[in-house]
Structure 1
């Protein structure tokens, strides 16, 4: 997007693109945010055509059109790079359960550490409400989690709450739905 910004600003300084009348004093040609772009210009046909030329120039410089040609001529498909940022996978598509393995592993790590083994029931409940909720909120702020991931997280919380660990089988003394009720609902 930096390259596109430079190209648009140069087009405006070369008078190929005329500023929108409300943007001329600030010399604002465009605003970029993530993968969105707003271009502010005088709406004449010739200037719109000039902006389209700028976008075509950007397409050629970025190699986006060339990528399609390479895929078509070689028969290769485009892969993706699995990248994490701040512990969260960066993906452009809806998260799968496999993408959430990092989250589940993080929760298992918190519940399996030696320091939580001697916690009382109340201590385990407090740990779930604070640490688990913090991790969960951090992820949910960014993504819609798959239902299966949420089920597994709830299962891990239930096993940890009732047994003090997440290994082996367990029998719940009270259903998880009752445990997660608010104080106003009678829990």
Structure 2
């Protein structure tokens, strides 16, 4: 089982093979039938030792940069639903390119919705400012921990705060 996982060449500088949070796991494998087979074998071994089994029915496979023939081969051999990219993980979009306006728009909309509900609650200016500091900035910080937010995004967030 030790040779089943290794670093993806594009992720070797990050030493990234998987992302895991609570009951959510994202595993990155080479785009081949054999690598998917290896990952599923590791999951089966994990189930034997821990008693925790991966729910294949709730699992999704994303295949970027995989040849059409290999995709068909993988889909024929494994009962995994195929997802489309881009995908969201823990509320954030997973992306490899520079963030553009459509990518950060969900952040701006989430903030706008929160601000609108606070405005309708007859909060004092000080109360609104406290909520902005505590809630809005924590949302922005969460996104900033994962991405370098474009300056235009930050300008839009600042305009909402006024």
Which structure has the larger Rg?
A: 1
Matched with 2:113 is 109
SS in 2 for 1:84: strand
Please point out which of 11, 29, 33 is paired with 1:36.
11
Question: What is the rounded CA distance, in whole Å, between the counterparts of 1:95 and 1:156 in structure 2?
Answer: 20
Matched with 1:50 is none
| CA shift for structure 1 position 129 | 0.7
Total equivalences in the alignment: 105
1:129 aligns with 2:138: no
Q: Which runs of 5+ in 1 are unaligned?
A: 1-5, 11-29, 39-57, 69-79, 159-187
SS in 2 for 1:156: helix
Q: Which runs of 5+ in 2 are unaligned?
A: 14-29, 36-62, 70-83
Matched with 2:19 is none
Q: How does 1:21-100 map to 2 (within 5 A)?
A: 32=7, 35-37=10-12, 61=33, 66=67, 81-100=85-104
RMSD of equivalent CA atoms? 3.5
Say whether the 8 Å CA contact 2:118–2:128 is kept in structure 1.
no
Question: What is the rounded CA distance, in whole Å, between the counterparts of 1:60 and 1:33 in structure 2?
Answer: 12
Alignment TM-score, normalising by the size of structure 1 = 0.46
Say whether the 8 Å CA contact 1:116–1:124 is kept in structure 2.
no
